[in-house]
């Protein structure tokens, strides 16, 4: 007699858990600010695939170079071109659509730009967040609010250990300072208002450097790499030895989705700050990322720009123990996988093998398997 041994699939249990968590979004009203940004576009598509009633706030971009439009989301989701600094218009729109979930991703996301436009950076990143908090607090319908900040909100201590959520906030550049200031305001709102009621859950999500297909932002590593490789130019590096917790965009987005779902059901328990980074001792240098990209592209050269650059933290690492323990979240992809998926996205779109919508949907579906 022969017996067939069934070998357990380690991913099937994870996939089942993922589907059970994400089904909460079906038919729910979800607002995404910063939807025309890189992360916002990926999140908008994912939530739309989950059956959520997605509403989007964004800026007016170059439609030919914007992922939101490349994914044809403008045909499925009504995009409201609205500035989060305008509290009156923002409040009017949110009151009209009455979302139960808000993912606040709208930001001025670039460090170099923050040196050029510090006041604007603080207006958007800090006061824009304050507007969202105040509107959500006064509403009777928002149940779960995720404010996305940054791993750069922590005070630089030149340590190689990962930053914990309880570590001191700071920032030596305007971008980092604006995110730290937003975090202080979020904490104040939780302490002053959230704990007195059990309707609205408020959390901040701190993630590291993300990669994935469709990012077109200037002065960002992955778009710079792809543009150089595609045009057969040398990749110019500003800070080759900087270490960052690089991860595929789907990893932190899944963390945000879990956290928002938990907040919806148990607002007091899950309100507060949460890190979504890489596993311990997996930070990767800029130079290694470039070499992985060249390997996956098939060819390419690099050049180091030795001109003095504006200050940025040289080493960033997030401690993700809290998220792993309390949310049962952990990053799925290793850095080599993240780079491979990212380069694969760009190559297939640039070579017209797949549309941006097709390859993005495929990568989201593959992630949830």
In the predicted structure, residue 2 carries a pLDDT above the cut 70: no
Percent of the chain with pLDDT over 70: 92
pLDDT tens figures, 17-30: 788 889 999 999 99
Mean pLDDT of the chain: 91
Is 296 part of a structural domain of the chain?
A: no
| Structural contact between residues 49 and 361, judged by C-beta atoms closer than 8 angstroms | yes
Is 362 part of a structural domain of the chain?
A: no
The confidence score (pLDDT) of residue 220 equals 87
Is 234 part of a structural domain of the chain?
A: no
Which helix (H) or strand (E) is 88 found in, with range? helix 87-97
Domain that holds residue 136: 13-210+246-281+313-333
Model pTM score: 0.93
CATH code, domain carrying 186? 3.40.50.720
**Lowest mean pLDDT across 142-156, 239-253, 265-279:** 239-253
Is 269 part of a structural domain of the chain?
A: yes
Separation CA 262–CA 252 (nearest Å)? 15
Number of structural domains, the chain? Answer: 1
Separation CA 259–CA 265 (nearest Å)? 10
The confidence score (pLDDT) of residue 264 equals 97
Is 115 part of a structural domain of the chain?
A: yes
| Structural contact between residues 286 and 305, judged by C-beta atoms closer than 8 angstroms | no
Pairing of strands 235-237, 302-304: parallel
């Amino acid at each position: 007699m022969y017996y067939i041994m069934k070998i357990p699939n380690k991913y099937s249990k994870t996939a089942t858990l993922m589907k059970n968590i994400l089904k909460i979004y079906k038919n729910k009203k979800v607002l995404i600010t910063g939807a025309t940004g890189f992360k916002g576009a990926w999140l908008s598509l994912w939530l739309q695939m989950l059956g959520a009633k997605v509403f989007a706030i964004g800026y007016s971009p170059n439609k030919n170079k914007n992922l939101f439009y490349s994914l044809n989301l403008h045909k499925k989701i009504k995009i409201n071109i609205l500035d989060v600094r305008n509290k009156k218009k923002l409040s009017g729109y949110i009151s009209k659509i009455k979302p139960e979930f808000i993912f606040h991703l709208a930001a001025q996301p670039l460090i170099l730009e923050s040196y050029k436009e510090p006041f604007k950076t603080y207006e958007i990143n800090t006061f824009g967040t304050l507007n969202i908090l105040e509107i959500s607090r006064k509403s009777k319908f928002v149940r779960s609010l995720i404010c996305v900040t940054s791993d750069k909100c922590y005070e630089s201590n030149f340590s190689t250990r990962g930053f914990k959520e309880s570590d001191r906030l700071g920032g030596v550049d305007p971008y980092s300072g604006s995110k730290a200031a937003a975090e202080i305001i979020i904490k104040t709102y939780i302490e002053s208002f959230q704990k007195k009621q059990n309707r609205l859950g408020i959390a901040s999500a701190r993630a590291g450097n993300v990669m994935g297909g469709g990012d077109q932002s200037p002065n960002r590593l992955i778009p710079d790499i792809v543009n150089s490789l595609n045009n057969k130019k040398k990749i110019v590096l500003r800070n080759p030895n900087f270490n960052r917790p690089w991860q595929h965009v789907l990893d932190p987005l899944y963390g945000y989705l879990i956290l928002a779902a938990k907040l919806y059901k148990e607002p007091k328990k899950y309100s507060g700050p949460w890190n979504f980074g890489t596993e311990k001792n997996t930070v990767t240098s800029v130079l290694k990322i470039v070499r992985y990209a060249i390997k996956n592209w098939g060819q390419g050269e690099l050049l180091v720009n030795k001109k003095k650059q504006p200050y940025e933290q040289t080493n960033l690492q997030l401690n993700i123990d809290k998220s792993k323990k309390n949310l049962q979240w952990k990053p799925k992809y290793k850095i080599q996988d993240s780079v491979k998926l990212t380069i694969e996205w760009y190559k297939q779109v640039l070579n017209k093998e797949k549309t941006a919508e097709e390859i993005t949907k495929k990568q989201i579906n593959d992630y949830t398997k």
